[in-house]
């Protein structure tokens, strides 16, 4: 199954919001097969913003973190078709445009699951289902993936 990661998973993995969230995020990432896990480019931009502006990292250190994620997972480009799908998604479903870009990118890469804390768990659009990896009980697709 192809999986896309939203910003909050990577933010927590970087230690923003405390050690317990970091441990959980890293455990989730460890369970994901790298060859079928994807990160939308939009997510890396948002991650950089959070690390520099909110977590007060030095820009050079934040860049190292971004490059590390780029080396770990395949990136999904924000093409013009992704952007226009996101506009429609945003308008039709009243979703913030930045979240819509992430979901549209996941759909363009044929992902089945988007791990996100920001969107409604269970929301499915264009074949992509949103699951909050930090919530209990786990969404059925996520539980199946983790063998739980």
Note the pLDDT tens digit of each residue in 43-87: 999 999 999 999 999 999 999 999 999 999 999 999 999 999 999
- CA–CA distance, 100 with 81 (Å, rounded to integer): 12
Task: Report the pLDDT value the prediction gives residue 72, as an integer from 0 to 100.
Answer: 95
Is domain 3-111 annotated with CATH 3.40.50.1010?
yes
pLDDT surpasses 70 at 148: no
- CA–CA distance, 135 with 87 (Å, rounded to integer): 28
Task: Report the pLDDT value the prediction gives residue 126, as an integer from 0 to 100.
Answer: 96
Task: Report the pLDDT value the prediction gives residue 141, as an integer from 0 to 100.
Answer: 85
Q: What is the pLDDT of residues 7-52, one digit of tens each?
A: 999 999 999 988 999 999 999 999 999 999 999 999 999 999 999 9
Buried b (16+ CB within 10 A) or exposed e, 22-55: beebeebbeebeeeebbbbbbbbebbbebbeeee
Average pLDDT over residues 85-111: 97
- CA–CA distance, 94 with 81 (Å, rounded to integer): 19
pLDDT surpasses 80 at 147: no
């Amino acid at each position: 199954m192809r999986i896309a990661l939203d910003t909050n998973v990577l933010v927590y993995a970087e230690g923003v919001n405390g050690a317990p969230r970091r441990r959980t995020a890293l455990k989730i990432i460890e369970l994901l097969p790298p060859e079928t896990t994807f990160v939308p480019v939009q997510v890396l931009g948002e991650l950089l913003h959070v690390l520099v502006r909110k977590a007060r990292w030095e820009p050079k250190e934040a860049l190292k973190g971004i490059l590390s994620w780029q080396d770990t997972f395949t990136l999904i480009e924000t093409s013009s078709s992704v952007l226009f799908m996101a506009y429609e998604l945003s308008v039709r479903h009243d979703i913030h445009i930045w979240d819509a870009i992430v979901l549209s990118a996941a759909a363009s890469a044929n992902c089945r699951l988007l791990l996100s804390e920001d969107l409604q768990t269970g929301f499915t659009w264009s074949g992509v289902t949103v699951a909050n990896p930090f919530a209990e009980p786990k969404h059925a697709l996520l539980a199946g993936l983790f063998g739980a």
